[in-house]
C-alpha cells in the first residue's frame, strides 16, 4: 500500500479526503477532541505530535462560547467568534507541531443552524483570503427531526459548504445522552440504532453534492455510564456499509463513519468499529476528566500553595506552585496521557501523513 503524504497543518478539501481514506484503508481512526481554550487546543496538538498521529480538533457551541469568554454578553456572537478565534489559532500553529489537524465543529441541532450559517459566512471570507476554508467540516445533528427534513437541510448546507471545499458530518439515529445541551436522556431504545435504509437515503441525496460523513448510532451514548447500561452493536455499521455497497456497486466500506460517545467505550467494540469504516471517534468526557483529575491531584498534594502566597509557619514562598502555568500545565499533561491511550485504541499511533513529521519541532 502506497503511503500518501500531506503538508503538516490544517487539512481541508482533497487533503481531508486523503486522510479519511488512509484511515479507512489502514483500519485506524483519529480521535476528535472537544476543546475549550488555547491551552486545551495546544495539549491536543502536542499529544498528536508525541504520538506521530494526525488528529481532529473540534468545538461544540458551548466550547466556542467559552473560548470567546464567559463575559461576552452576546452569547450568539460569542459562539460564532469563539469558534472563529479557535480555528484561527489552529491555522496559525498547527504546522509547527508537524502533524495534520482537522478542524471540526460538533453537534448543531435545528436551533443552532444560524450558528453554522454565521460560521460559513466567516468561512467564505477566510476562503477568499487564503484559498481554504476556516473549518474542514461542520457537524449538523438533525437526528431529532424527521429524516426528510434532516437530509434536505443537510443537502442545502452541504451545497454551500462544497463551494469552499468543506465537508459535512450528519447524524442518523440518536446518540444517547446529551452533549452540551443537545440530545436527550429519554430515548426510545430502537432509535439508538441507525437504520441502514436511512443511511442509503443519505448517500443517495448527499453523495452527488459533496463529501459527507455519518455519525451512525450503534448503541453509543455520550458521557460515561456504569458498565452494562450501554450495549454497543458495531455490526449495525457493517449492515449500513453493506446496503450502500450492494445498491451502488461500490468498493468495501463506501461510507465514512463517525463514532460519537467514544468516552468509556469497551476497547474490543472500538476495535471492531474500526473495521467497518469508522475514521473518527469523538472524545470529550474522558479528556475533561483527565484534565480535572490531574489538577485535582496537584492541588491535593500542594494544598498550602492554593491557600497562602507565603507559608504562614516557615515563610516558604509558593509562587512557583500557584502560578497558573504550573497547574494548568499539569491539566494539559493529563489530556496528553489520556489521548496517548486513545491513539493506541484507535490504532493511529505513528500513522501521521504529514511528510516532515520526523522533524516535528515538539520535544
- Contact positions toward Zn ion, by CB under 5 A? 179, 260
Residues 6+ apart with CB under 8 A from 325: none
Residue whose cell numbers read 450502500? 244
Least Å from the CB of residue 107 to Zn ion:
6
Shortest CB 197 distance to Zn ion, Å: 22
Q: Is the Cβ–Cβ distance between 63 and 39 less than 8 Å?
A: no
268 is catalytic: no
What does the alpha-carbon distance between residue 90 and residue 274 come to, in Å, rounded to a whole number?
Answer: 27
Choice between 40 and 105, CB closer to Zn ion: 105
Give the nearest distance from C-beta 194 to Zn ion in angstroms: 13
Sign of CA dihedral 206, 207, 211, 217: positive
Residue sitting closest to Zn ion (CB)? 260
Q: How far is CA 11 from CA 133, 213, 296, in A?
A: 10, 16, 35
61 vs 109: CA distance, rounded Å: 10
Nearer to Zn ion, 52 or 269 (CB): 269
What grid cell was written down for 11? 487539512
* Distance, first Cα to last Cα, the chain: 30
Closest listed residue to residue 277, CA positions, set 343, 337, 215: 215
**Among residues 22 and 215, whose Cβ is nearest to Zn ion?**
215
CB of 284 to Zn ion, least distance (A): 8
Catalytic residue among 106, 165, 198, 256: 106
95 vs 179, beta carbon nearer Zn ion: 179
Provide the annotated active-site residues: 106
Amino acid at each position: 500500500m502506497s503511503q500518501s503524504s500531506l503538508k503538516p497543518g490544517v487539512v481541508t478539501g482533497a487533503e481531508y479526503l486523503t486522510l479519511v481514506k488512509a484511515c479507512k484503508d489502514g483500519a485506524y481512526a483519529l480521535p476528535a477532541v472537544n476543546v475549550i481554550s488555547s491551552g486545551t487546543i495546544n495539549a491536543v496538538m502536542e499529544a498528536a505530535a508525541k504520538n506521530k498521529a494526525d488528529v481532529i480538533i473540534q468545538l461544540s457551541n458551548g466550547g466556542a462560547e467559552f473560548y470567546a469568554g464567559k463575559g461576552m454578553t452576546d452569547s450568539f456572537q460569542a459562539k460564532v467568534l469563539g469558534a472563529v478565534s479557535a480555528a484561527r489559532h489552529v491555522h496559525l500553529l498547527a504546522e509547527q507541531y508537524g502533524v495534520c489537524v482537522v478542524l471540526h465543529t460538533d453537534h448543531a441541532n435545528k436551533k443552532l443552524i444560524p450558528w453554522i450559517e454565521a460560521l460559513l459566512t466567516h468561512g467564505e471570507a477566510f476562503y477568499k483570503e487564503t484559498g481554504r476554508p476556516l473549518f474542514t467540516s461542520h457537524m449538523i445533528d438533525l437526528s431529532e427531526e424527521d429524516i426528510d427534513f434532516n437530509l434536505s437541510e443537510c443537502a442545502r448546507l452541504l451545497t454551500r459548504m462544497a463551494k469552499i471545499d468543506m465537508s459535512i458530518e450528519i447524524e442518523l439515529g440518536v446518540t444517547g445522552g446529551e452533549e452540551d445541551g443537545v440530545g436527550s436522556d429519554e430515548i426510545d431504545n430502537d432509535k439508538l440504532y441507525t437504520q441502514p435504509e436511512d443511511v442509503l437515503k443519505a448517500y443517495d441525496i448527499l453523495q452527488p453534492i459533496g463529501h459527507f460523513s455519518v455519525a451512525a448510532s450503534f448503541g453509543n451514548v455520550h458521557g460515561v455510564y456504569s458498565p452494562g447500561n450501554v450495549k454497543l452493536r458495531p455490526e449495525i455499521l457493517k449492515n449500513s456499509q453493506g446496503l450502500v455497497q450492494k445498491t451502488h456497486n461500490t468498493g468495501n466500506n463506501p461510507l465514512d463513519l463517525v463514532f460519537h460517545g467514544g468516552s468509556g467505550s469497551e476497547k474490543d467494540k472500538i476495535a471492531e468499529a474500526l473495521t467497518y469504516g469508522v475514521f473518527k471517534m469523538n472524545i470529550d468526557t474522558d479528556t475533561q476528566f483527565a484534565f480535572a483529575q490531574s489538577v485535582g491531584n496537584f492541588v491535593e498534594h500542594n494544598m498550602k500553595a492554593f491557600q497562602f502566597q507565603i507559608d504562614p509557619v516557615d515563610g516558604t514562598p509558593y509562587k512557583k506552585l500557584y502560578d497558573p502555568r504550573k497547574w494548568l500545565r499539569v491539566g494539559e499533561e493529563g489530556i496528553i496521557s489520556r489521548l496517548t491511550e486513545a491513539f493506541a485504541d484507535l490504532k493511529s499511533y505513528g500513522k501521521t501523513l504529514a511528510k516532515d513529521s520526523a522533524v516535528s519541532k515538539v520535544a
